[in-house]
Amino acid sequence: MTRTALVCGAGGFIGGHLVARLKQEGFWVRGVDIKFHEHAETVADDFVIGDLREQAFCRSVIDRRFDEVYQLAADMGGAGYIFTGEHDADIMQNSAAINLNVLEACHKRTIRKVFYSSSACIYPAYNQQDPLNPKCSEESAYPAAPDSEYGWEKLFSERLYLAYRRNYGMTTHVARYHNIFGPAGTWTGGKEKAPAAVCRKVALAKSGDAIDIWGDGEQTRSFLYIDECLEGTTRLLRSEFAGPVNIGSEEMVTINQLVDLVADIAGKRIRKHHIAGPTGVRGRNSDNRLVRERLGWAPSMALSSGLERTYGWIEAQTRRNAA
């Protein structure tokens, strides 16, 4: 029997890559999104365009007992979208509505295995003030104090998915992604994340130019390449472990170091012009002790390898745009 999967948010960055991976594994895949993928043709067997905030639409696409459901659809973006405060109501309303509807429709169809993508943005701001020693172990999520409404919605939805597990016997699984990056993601327009924004700025700069960096660039983060994110995602869904669990890299860098890495890959001398802008917490890094213990696996790829692949793709996009 062919295994079946549903990917909600299949027109997005992670969802698009996940559809391709599941196809490679031999699944029959339905993708759902409010839009088509902007950077790649979908390889899904069925791709349905519609709004997952609508209950009736959710029921219509969740019309069978899929073996695996991945809920990745969300109203989200990089710091320029989630930390300015201007989109808070939309982010909370849209993503919560999607999560409530998708999960309930899965329950009605007696689907068991459902994956939910939460975020490192749920971790309390008070544990992430020292850029060199952020604390992001899973149990440190409480007492809760995320620094964005995006994080609060994720925290609510984590609890929702785990409540359906407790009360309805579904095997929901929750991952907390830490800054996923790679080719075929948003790289311009205001919703792009730091690695994509830095790659674009470096690609458009001439050697010796300065590029704008939000804040002093000493804020720390880790970044996980898309292939390793998918490995962790599928391993988690197929395990006995509910989570929440970090899926991220432990290779922490400052944003200034990220710029230097990309400049090296591009072979350009890049100066940094630090300007005011939304920067989020001062430090953040994945803590992979739990994922190692429970899944016997953790990401291992060097940041520079993922950046090489991502820079190549973004540089090609900037050339195509200019032509």
What does the alpha-carbon distance between residue 301 and residue 311 come to, in Å, rounded to a whole number? 16
Take residue 29 and report the two structure tokens written for it.
Answer: 């895949």
Crossing angle of helices 88-108 and 149-168, rounded to 10°: 10
Angle at 296 between CA 291 and CA 300, to 5 degrees: 75
Q: How far is the CB of 69 from ligand NAD (least distance, A)?
A: 13
- How many residues in total does the chain contain? 323
Instruction: For the beta carbon of residue 314, count every other beta carbon within 10 angstroms.
Output: 28
Report the helix count and the strand count for the chain, using DSSP H and E.
Answer: 10, 13
Q: Which one, of 158, 147, 61, 164, lies nearest residue 103 by Cα? A: 164
- Rounded Cα–Cα distance for residues 282 and 121 (Å): 12
C-beta separation of 253 from 303 below 8 A: yes
Q: At closest approach, how far in Å is the CB of 157 from ligand NAD?
A: 9
Determine which one of 81, 150, 164, 225 is catalytic: 150
The helix (run of H) or strand (run of E) holding residue 233 is: helix 226-237
Distance of alpha carbon 187 from alpha carbon 226, whole angstroms: 15
Look up residue 175 and give its two tokens: 């991952």
Residues near ligand NAD, by CB under 6 A: 9, 11-15, 33-35, 51-53, 72-76, 94, 98, 117, 119, 177, 179-180, 186, 193
Query: Which residue's beta carbon is nearest to the bound ligand NAD?
Result: 12
Distance CA 47, CA 61 (A): 10
Query: Least Å distance between CB 4 and ligand NAD?
Result: 19
Q: Which helix (H) or strand (E) holds 127?
A: none
Distances (CA, A) of 47 to 5, 108, 315: 12, 22, 29
Question: Shortest distance, CB of residue 268 to ligand NAD, whole angstroms?
Answer: 25
CB of 92 vs ligand NAD, minimal distance in Å: 12
Neighbours of 203 (CB within 10 A): 19
- 70 an active-site residue? no
In the complex, minimum distance from the CB of residue 211 to ligand NAD, in angstroms, rounded to a whole number = 21
State how far the Cα of 247 lies from the Cα of 118, in Å rounded to an integer: 10
Active-site residue set? 150
